[in-house]
Amino acid sequence: MAVKKKSHIMHWKLTGLFFVLPSLTGVCVFLLVPFLDVVRRSFLGAVSEEWVGFKNYITVFQNGAFRLAAGNTLRFVAVCIPLLILLSLFFSVFLQGKVKGSHMIKMAFLVPMAIPVASVVLLWRVLFHGQGLINGLFAGHSLFAEHGLLTGLGFGTTDWMNTDYAFGVLVFSYLWKNIGYNIILWSAGLAAIPESIYEAARMDGAGNVRIFFRITLPNLWPVLNTIAVLSLLNSFKVFREAYLVAGDYPHESMYLVQHLFNNWFRELSLDKISAAAVLVSIVITFLVIQLERRLGEGQ
C-alpha cells in the first residue's frame, strides 16, 4: 500500500514537472544562459576576450557617467516606491468605501497602462515642452502675464525636460503609469478581508483610524510584500519614456542606468556594460531580498 501511494505521489510530481518544463526551458535558454554569458564577459576584454579579472568593474566604478546614472536611479527608486505604495493604498481604501462610480474611477486609473508609449511621449512633449501647454497656461493667463507671478520659478518660460524639473516629470510619469495596477492589487487584498471583522470592531466602538491600523493594514501585509517587489522591479524599467522624450543624453537629473547601457551598447563597450549589468543585478537582488526579509518579519 505504501509503495502504491509513493508511486502515485511520484506520478503527480512528474506530471507537474512536465507542465512547468516548457516555461522553465524558455527561462533557461533566453534568460539564465545569456546572463551567465554576461557574467563571463564581465571578466574578459571587449575585443581580445582575454581574462582581465576585476579590471572592468574598477573601470565602471571610476566612470563618472556610471556614478551619475547609478545615483539618479537609486534616488528615483527611493522617491517613487514609497510614493507609489502610499498613494495607491490611499486611493484603494478610499474607493473601497461607498463611493459613487468607484468602478469607473478604477478603470480610469488603468487607462495609462493601455496607452502606447509613443502616445505617452507625445503627451509629455505637448505638456512640458518650452512651447507646451503648461507654459502656455502660465504665460497666457492675464494674472501671470501682467504681474509676472511665478516667473521666478520658470513657469511660462521653461523647457521642463531640460531643467532640474525633469526628474519630477519622470517621477510623475512613473506614478501615473503604475498607480492603477497597484490599486487593483490593493483592492484584491481589501476584498479578501472578511466584513464580519469590521462589523465586530465597530460594535466594540473602534473608529476608522483604529480599524485601519489594527485590522486593515495587518491583513494587507502579504499584499504589501508583492506590491513592493513588483514596484521595485518596475522602477528599473523606466527608460522608454525618458529616452523618447529627451534622447540619448537627457538632463543629468534623469540620466539613468538604462541610458548608460544604451549608450555603451551603441559604442560596443561590451566589457563595461557586462560589468555594470552584473552590478545592477546584484543590487536588485539585494533590494528584493531585503524587502522580502523586512516585510516577512512583519507578517
Percent of the chain as helix, strand, coil, to the nearest 5 = 80, 0, 20
Residue 1: is its pLDDT beyond 80?
A: no
pLDDT digits (tens, 9 = 90+) for 192-246: 888 888 888 888 888 888 888 888 888 888 888 888 888 888 888 777 777 777 6
What SS3 state is found at 107? helix
Q: What is the CATH number of domain 56-297?
A: 1.10.3720.10
pLDDT over 90, % of the chain: 8
Residue 140: is its pLDDT beyond 70?
A: no
Read off the pLDDT band of 128 (50, 70, 90). Answer: confident
Residue 131: predicted pLDDT: 67
Read off the pLDDT band of 10 (50, 70, 90). Answer: low
HEC assignment per residue over 263-282: HHHHCCCHHHHHHHHHHHHH
Residue 144: predicted pLDDT: 47
Q: Average pLDDT over the chain, rounded to whole?
A: 80
pLDDT over 70, % of the chain: 82
Residue 139: predicted pLDDT: 56
What SS3 state is found at 139? helix
**Where is pLDDT greater, at 13 or 107?**
107
Residue 146: is its pLDDT beyond 60?
A: no
Segment 103-112 shows an average pLDDT of 78
Residue 138: predicted pLDDT: 62
Can you tell me the distance from the alpha carbon of 135 to that of 149, in angstroms, rounded to the nearest whole number?
A: 13
Neighbours of 157 (CB within 10 A): 11
Q: Give buried/exposed letters for 163-195 (b at 16+ CB in 10 A, else e).
A: eebbbebbbebbbebbbbbbbebbbebbeeeee
Residue type, 226: T
**Where is pLDDT greater, at 264 or 126?**
264
Read off the pLDDT band of 99 (50, 70, 90). Answer: low
Residue 149: predicted pLDDT: 45
| CB-count exposure of residue 132 (10 Å: 0-12, 13-18, 19+) | middle
Residue 152: is its pLDDT beyond 60?
A: no
Segment 126-137 shows an average pLDDT of 69
Read off the pLDDT band of 278 (50, 70, 90). Answer: very high
pLDDT digits (tens, 9 = 90+) for 43-89: 988 777 788 888 989 999 998 889 998 998 899 999 999 999 999 99
Residue 150: is its pLDDT beyond 50?
A: no
Can you tell me the distance from the alpha carbon of 215 to that of 209, in angstroms, rounded to the nearest whole number?
A: 10
